Structure 1
Amino acid sequence: ENAGEYSAIVEKGLLATDTGDAVCDKCTDERKGQKIVGMTIAKHLKKSANSNVYDSGEILDPENGKTYKCKMTLGANGNELEVRGFIGFSLLGRSQTWKRVE
């Protein structure tokens, strides 16, 4: 959290074969050529009146280099985060569930 805005940084790859050397070749901003591990992929998220929802942000898909509007909802147990990236309004997008790892 910084000045009421939240962000997400990639801490490690998901696959056992991920070496941490992959870079974002398709990014078009300052992240072009930057290693994905350590990269800020979501930013400008603001906590809404519903304490489990963070919205009004943006998220980067490092596979295609595109940035989408973003909304994140923290699960009741605090171990799951529903991440929704979309174009325009929330109906035109896709969701992923991120799970906390120990």
Structure 2
Amino acid sequence: MRHTRHPMPSALRRAVLALCVAAGAVAPAWAQMTPVGRWHTIDDETKEVKSEVVITEKEGVLTGRIEKLLRKGADPNRRCTACTDDRKDQPLIGLEIIRGARQVPGKAVWEGGTILDPESGKTYTLRLTPVESGAKLEVRGSVLFIGRTQTWVRVP
């Protein structure tokens, strides 16, 4: 018995191709809607890059560490002298500044953890929200209802 091929109509072929291309373009953006990755922190006043922070995930819990100090004239040997917990006098490079954040079920928001401001030594409750298809991260630190939000930029 001989099989005959039924060629896919060209309009259908084009539609399938367009769908595949669209799916390929959306998938990388959707995959980046997470805080996990490398981020440049931005100085609130000068708007210059201050540091590079790497956020990792283990068993659903996020941790973030300072990987590099990028501010002009930054001392690579600087320590967290203002810290009052187990991070007291630890080097800023490698310092864990994000602890314990978990994803809110069904949302692209991570909460429940803390963030340390190594300049003041103060710890704040934390909310992380990826924005602009994951290219930026809104980092909100607060005490009670008072807080501030910084926008970090994903390192390509």
Question: Are 2:144 and 1:97 aligned?
Answer: no
Q: 2:88: which partner in 1? A: 32
Matched residue of 1:12: which SS?
strand
User: Take 2:93 and 2:69, find their aligned partners in 1: how far apart are those partners?
Assistant: 7
Amino acid paired to 1:49:
P
Once the two structures are overlaid, the 10-residue window that deviates more, 7-16 or 59-68, is 7-16
Offset of 1:15 from its aligned partner? 1.0
User: Take 1:79 and 1:37, find their aligned partners in 2: how far apart are those partners?
Assistant: 24
- Structure 1 gaps of 5+ residues are none
Under a length normalisation based on structure 2, what TM-score does the superposition of the two structures give? Answer: 0.60
- The superposition leaves residues 57-89 of structure 1 with CA deviations (integer Å, 9 ceiling, x where unpaired) of 100011111111010101142121000000023
Matched residue of 1:77: which SS?
helix
- Sequence identity percentage: 40
Q: Please report the RMSD computed on the Cα atoms of aligned residues, expressed in angstroms.
A: 1.4
Q: 1:81: which partner in 2? A: 137
List structure 1 segments (4+ residues) > 4 angstroms apart after TM superposition.
Answer: none
Offset of 1:50 from its aligned partner? 4.0
Greater C-alpha Rg: 2
Q: Indicate conservation of the 8 Å contact 1:52/1:75, yes or no.
A: no
Q: 1:59: which partner in 2? A: 115
Q: Give the alignment partner of residue 8 of structure 1, picking from 64, 68, 74.
A: 64
Q: Give the alignment partner of residue 71 of structure 1, picking from 122, 127, 142.
A: 127
Matched residue pairs, number?
A: 100
Under a length normalisation based on structure 1, what TM-score does the superposition of the two structures give? Answer: 0.89
